[in-house]
Amino acid sequence: MTDVLQEFKQSGALLEGHFVLSSGLHSPRYLQCALALQYPADAARYGHAIAEKYLDEGVETVASPAIGGLVIGYATAASMNVRFIWTERQNGEMTLRRGFKLREGERILVVEDVITTGGSTRECIAAISGNGGKVVAASSIIDRSNGIADVGVPRFSLVSLDVPSYEPDVCPMCAQGIEAIKPGSRTVSSV
């Protein structure tokens, strides 16, 4: 799926320019995966592309961390014709709720939309493992870590995307006098 990034640009899920991220850091790229998953046919294609990698892994269940992983996780599970469950934060801790039960040793594929540091995937894996599941692999549409994120199980992403970020005082776009935009609002930063 080499055209994933092109599709992300077309849907507005990947913006290029000069952005203020929610962290306050500046970046020439901004990613909002939800926009690439608005149409079920697109989500189904990405899910199918992930599922194809795991046909021989004996995956019994796909699990995703809410909210970001829900759409792509469901699409992947639908392609594999296995069940889909999710973990979610309760008082800040990723937990398995809603009556979802795992069999001891049940083979689980964890799926997310974007892996940045791998934090939410690792937390999802811990919640699944803590309930008896055996996480055999983790996957995402986008890898923003340059392949570095280590989640403790084999990992695969459809595409790798470098999203550099800078403190505002060393931002090269700021140095060029380019206006910084805060995605999701119409606010234009004064820096």
* Binding to Zn ion, residues 156-185 (CB under 5 A): 171, 173-174, 180
Residue closer to Zn ion by CB (options 114, 174) is 174
Name residue 62's beta-bridge partners: 84, 109
Helices (H), the chain: 4-11, 40-51, 70-80, 119-130, 172-175
Residue closer to Zn ion by CB (options 71, 180) is 180
Give min distance, CB of 113 to Zn ion, in A: 25
Give min distance, CB of 187 to Zn ion, in A: 14
Give min distance, CB of 146 to Zn ion, in A: 21
In b/e form, how buried is each residue of 52-61, taking b as 16+ CB within 10 angstroms? eebeeeebbb
- Chain-centroid distance of CA 68 in Å reads 6
Distance (Å, whole) CA 31 – CA 161: 10
3-state helix, strand, coil in the chain (%, to 5): 30, 30, 40
- Compose the 110-139 pattern: x for residues touching Zn ion by CB under 5 A, - for all others: ------------------------------
Residue closer to Zn ion by CB (options 151, 171) is 171
CA angle 93, 63, 7 (to 5 degrees): 105
- Compose the 9-48 pattern: x for residues touching Zn ion by CB under 5 A, - for all others: -----------------x----------------------
Which DSSP string corresponds to 95-110? EE-TT----TT-EEEE
188: amino acid identity, one letter: V
Q: How many residues bind Zn ion (CB under 5 A)?
A: 5
Give min distance, CB of 151 to Zn ion, in A: 30
Give min distance, CB of 15 to Zn ion, in A: 14
Give min distance, CB of 17 to Zn ion, in A: 10
Residue closer to Zn ion by CB (options 26, 122) is 26
Point out which residues bind Zn ion (CB under 5 A). Answer: 26, 171, 173-174, 180
